[in-house]
């Protein structure tokens, strides 16, 4: 008797839950510095970075990137080195 393994018919990819990287408001960094950091590290356009800083200023936080947790963790580490406050939710 020959053994033939049975495989599941489900061939979809595992769903990876998307996370969000939030920029938090602080009283230390000025607008131009934060804009420069977002353009340099996150590849935002200057207008996109400016809008994110204004939203962060008035609302207290703003989503600057969405994606896989590990990718966001690397961005968070880089931006933290520049002195920005961030969180992943």
Over residues 70-84, the pLDDT tens digits come to 999 999 999 999 999
Surface-to-core class of residue 45, CB atoms within 10 Å of its CB (0-12 exposed, 13-18 middle, 19+ buried)? exposed
Q: Radius of gyration over alpha carbons of the chain, in Å?
A: 19
Query: Per-residue pLDDT tens for 3-49?
Result: 555 555 555 555 668 999 999 999 899 999 999 999 999 999 999 99
Residue 35 has which token pair?
A: 């804009």
Q: What is the pTM of this model?
A: 0.79
CA distances from 9 to 5, 6, 14, 17 (A): 12, 9, 14, 23
In the chain, domain spans? 27-88
| Residues 51, 55, 60, 62, CA torsion sign | negative
Per-residue buried b or exposed e for 54-82, using 16+ beta carbons within 10 Å of the residue's own CB: ebbeeeebbebbeeeeeebeebbeebeee
């Amino acid at each position: 008797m020959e053994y033939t393994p049975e495989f599941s018919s489900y061939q979809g990819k595992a769903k990876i839950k998307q996370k969000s990287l939030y920029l938090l408001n602080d009283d230390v960094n000025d607008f131009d510095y934060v804009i420069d950091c977002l353009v340099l590290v996150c590849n935002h356009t200057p207008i996109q970075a400016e809008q994110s800083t204004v939203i962060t200023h008035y609302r207290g936080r703003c989503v600057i990137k969405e994606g896989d947790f590990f990718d966001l963790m690397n961005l968070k580490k880089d931006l933290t080195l520049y002195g920005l406050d961030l969180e992943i939710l």
